[in-house]
Copies of this chain bind each other. A is one copy, B any other.
Amino acid sequence: MNVLIIHAHPEPRSFTTALKDTAVDELSRRGHTVEISDLYAMNFDPVAKGGDFTSRHDPQYLVYALEQRKALASGGLAPDIAAEVEKLRGADLIILSFPMFWFSVPAIMKGWIDRVLLSGLCYGGRRFYDRGGLRGKRMLAAFTLGSRETMFGAQAVHGELEAMLRPLLRGTFYYVGCDVLQPFVAWHVPYISGADRDAFLARYRTRLSGIELEQPIAYPSLDDFDDDMMPLRSSS
């Protein structure tokens, strides 16, 4: 597989970085090719704006998704976006490596999503979910968080973690057609021992050793909706 790791942590020596390094080591060792976009190291610009296009279809009024489609067709993407798009096109597995900030990705990674997951390439019109443009690629979110695992679950204070991750996993990566894998979560990281951290690294290594065989999360198929996106049959 070609693996693209999108990594974002403001501290280069963080445990999240150790997870990323473990992924590079294990995946390379198994013969996969690994490419990394280390967003902080790259000083990646997360702000979607008119300047993301080297020439504008409409210089007077910015409709961002429309400019994405036009720039994709004309080769008019800003170089930093074009470089990420090329990595994305070549990837069989996309790993997002990050510390959870506000039950979501850090802003610098949200900006990668906003700017790189282009309309026209990744989705458009009725091309989303299992008809999305990135069909055939797998996606894994691998993240650290401060909370304890016991704070998540049907009866727990925050409810299900998966419910908090819905816009990222279903609303973004399944939206563009990826096979979304169960996230890898390192819990309570700021407060645990070195041994517990090592155990997370070992568990991540084991997980990655068979990642290409995993079953993705089951999400709705567009086959169950008509052309107006109304359900063909009700399911309750």
Task: Pick the interface stretch among A60-68, A89-97, A208-216.
Answer: A60-68
Task: Scan residues 163-187 of chain A and give those whose CB is less than 8 A from a CB of chain B.
Answer: 163-168, 171-172, 175
With known contacts A102-B167, A222-B157, A50–B107 Cβ distance under 8 A? no
Whether B10 pairs with A62 at a CB distance below 8 angstroms is yes
A231 within 8 A of B: yes
A31 within 8 A of B: no
Interface string of A72-84 (1 = CB under 8 A from B): 0000000000000
Whether B157 pairs with A220 at a CB distance below 8 angstroms is yes
In the bound complex, residues from chain B placing their C-beta under 8 Å from that of A165 are 167
Whether B156 pairs with A106 at a CB distance below 8 angstroms is no
Among residues of B, the one whose C-beta sits closest to the C-beta of A10 is: B49
A206 within 8 A of B: no
A104–chain B nearest beta-carbon distance, Å: 5
Whether B102 pairs with A117 at a CB distance below 8 angstroms is yes
* Complex: A148 Cα to B229 Cα, angstroms: 10
- Tell me which of A49, A61, A146, A166 has the highest count of chain B C-beta atoms within 10 A of its own C-beta: A166
Whether A47 pairs with B48 at a CB distance below 8 angstroms is no
- Tell me which of A47, A61, A63, A175 has the highest count of chain B C-beta atoms within 10 A of its own C-beta: A47
* Complex: A61 Cα to B16 Cα, angstroms: 13
Task: Pick the interface stretch among A21-29, A108-116, A133-141, A195-203.
Answer: A108-116
Interface residues of A (CB under 8 A from B): 10-11, 13-14, 40, 46-50, 61-65, 101-108, 110-111, 113-114, 117, 129, 146, 148, 150-151, 154-158, 163-168, 171-172, 175, 190, 220, 222, 225, 228-231, 234-236
Q: Can you offer 18 A-B residue contacts whose CB atoms are under 8 A? A: A10-B49, A11-B61, A13-B61, A40-B49, A46-B46, A46-B108, A47-B107, A101-B110, A102-B167, A102-B175, A103-B166, A103-B171, A103-B172, A104-B171, A154-B236, A156-B229, A164-B166, A164-B167
